[in-house]
Structure 1
Amino acid sequence: MQLIWFLAIGLISGWLAGMISRGGGFGLWGDLATGVVGSFIGGYLFGFLGITTYGTIGAIIASTAGAIILLWVIRMFSHVAPAANKKKP
């Protein structure tokens, strides 16, 4: 049951991070992967800063923050233009 809850929070936070940083989601599997990896980054970062989160909303906030940082790092090393800046044919 906890695994399903963890995946649901990862999916929500990945979708939120995509909406905040890019303006759209990445699809089911992309949102899930972004959110799950982001939850580890966010949990580590919040623990390092001494910030404690409680409950589902706290987990979503920490996971979303971690996913946004993950996307920022990926874009820093990637030369792919965001969807909003791509030229239309």
Structure 2
Amino acid sequence: MNVDTRALIVFAIVGIIAGFLASILLGGGGGILRYLITGIVGAFVGGYLFDALKINLGIDNRFLSEVVTATAGAVIVVLLARLIA
């Protein structure tokens, strides 16, 4: 397994965890595909916002930091989707 494949797998795992955590925080269900999509979109939104606002979480563990960032982004995405719908 090469580095690119591992990175995609880790990205998918982070997305699934973030989508799941966002669904717990905001209520609602969904399957693994919904968690994955919400988490991946949330990872991009959270990463962009944290970078633009210069927010540093101060978490030494990179995986945990990515999960927290993606979860925050996923929460924002779900809230915006609910406002629109």
TM range (shorter): 0.7 to 0.9
- Structure 1 distance, partners of 2:17, 2:66, is 10
Would you say how many aligned residue pairs link Structure 1 and Structure 2?
77
- Equivalent runs, 1:1-89 vs 2, <5 Å: 1-22=6-27, 24-53=28-57, 55-78=62-85
Superimposed CA distance per residue, residues 35-85 of structure 1 (whole angstroms, 9 cap, x where no aligned partner) = 00000000000001102355011000000000000000000011xxxxxxx
TM-score normalised by structure 1 residue count: 0.82
Q: Which runs of no fewer than 5 residues in structure 2 stay unpaired? A: 1-5
- Structure 1 distance, partners of 2:82, 2:45, is 16
Number of the residue aligned with 1:85 = none
CA RMSD across the alignment: 1.1
- Structure 2 distance, partners of 1:26, 1:38, is 16
Q: Which runs of no fewer than 5 residues in structure 1 stay unpaired? A: 79-89
Q: Could you tell me how far 1:26 is from its partner in structure 2?
A: 1.4
TM-score normalised by structure 2 residue count: 0.85
Amino acid at match of 1:66: G
Using the aligned pairs only, state the percent identity: 39
- Structure 2 distance, partners of 1:35, 1:13, is 5
